[in-house]
Each structure stands twice: as structure tokens, then as C-alpha cells.
Structure 1
């Protein structure tokens, strides 16, 4: 099936890449627009949230950040123009076969230098 080949398998192929860019196994992600319960999460080996619950407001994403989401994975470029996502697309940390990856939170262990 074309959809499986072109979309889902790239999540499985990106596992080594996300480790290279610093995403840890226990980091929670938001994967959009995956309307399944957890297909993209399972294939990439991460816990988190998909768009199964139809997140489409800025407050929805902020709520998931409060629940521990650290990264946003966007696998459809059309979502990059959605107004409710704009403030979450500032800190791009990677891109893999059309999946754009954005960091949502600051590291708690950053040491500030003066």
C-alpha cells in the first residue's frame, strides 16, 4: 500500500536519527497529523500523543506540553501554515524524510553562564 510505504515506514526509519539529534527514549512527543491511536508513536518508539483526539487549538498543544510533551513532529507540510501551531514552530531541531521536528520546551538542566 502506497500510504504505508510513503508515510508510516519513514517513522520507523527515523529512530536512529532522533537519537542523534538528542531525543531520548523517554521524551514524549506530539505527532501530527496522525489520526490513529498510536501508529506513528509505536513506529518511532516514543510515547506521547497523536491527533486521534483532534487537537486543533493552541490551548490543546499547551495542555500537552503541561503533560510532558517535549517535541512536536509534523509529517504533513500543510500543517506548518496552521495558525494555532505557529508559536510551536520556532525551535526546529531536525527534519527527516519530510517529518519536521520542533522542540517545545527548554531543558531544565541548562546552566546559565554570565
Structure 2
């Protein structure tokens, strides 16, 4: 689940399948987060209009957790891969929530079946 191919990244990335609502001036759309870290995420499919590079986003890690609301900036856009964004305004609490949530999942996946 963790992306080990990019050791030079600042934060570990985790494979995800999260619904995200993206708010841009005059528009709100739904997409999926396919990779996430405490510093940003990969949105799929790629956003069609990245002219407005500042986004507001809302997503949650699980049904029983509250929504994470943050702001992000488009870093890159590759049509067949997705749109990479860096979180520009996200609370320390939410950053830690992302890391702890996915680290717990990794630990649970490594546990032998009882």
C-alpha cells in the first residue's frame, strides 16, 4: 500500500480510494483520491481545467471519521495518471490523522490471520 518507489519524497504516500469534493470558483465536482500523503494527493481522473490552480477540497478517510477540509495547489496534471496537488492549508491534526490512519491499515494488513 505504501509507495516505496519514491524514497526522496518528504512524506510517505499511501494507496487510497477516497471520494473527494473539489470546490473551484463557480464549480464543485467529485473525483477520487488514488494516492495520499500528509502533504498532498493524486486525484483521478485528472482535472480538466487546472487554470485555477488553487482548490478547496473535502474528503474523509472512512465513514466513521469527520471530513477533512483543506486547500491545495495543483502541482502537475497528467491526463492518463491524474492531478497531483500539494496541501497548502491543512491542520496539523488532519495531517497526523492521514498518517496514523494509513499506518494503522498497513500494520493490520501485515498481521497474520488469526
TM norm. shorter chain > 0.5: no
Q: TM-score, normalised by structure 2?
A: 0.29
Greater strand content: 2
Report the TM-score when normalising by structure 1. 0.29
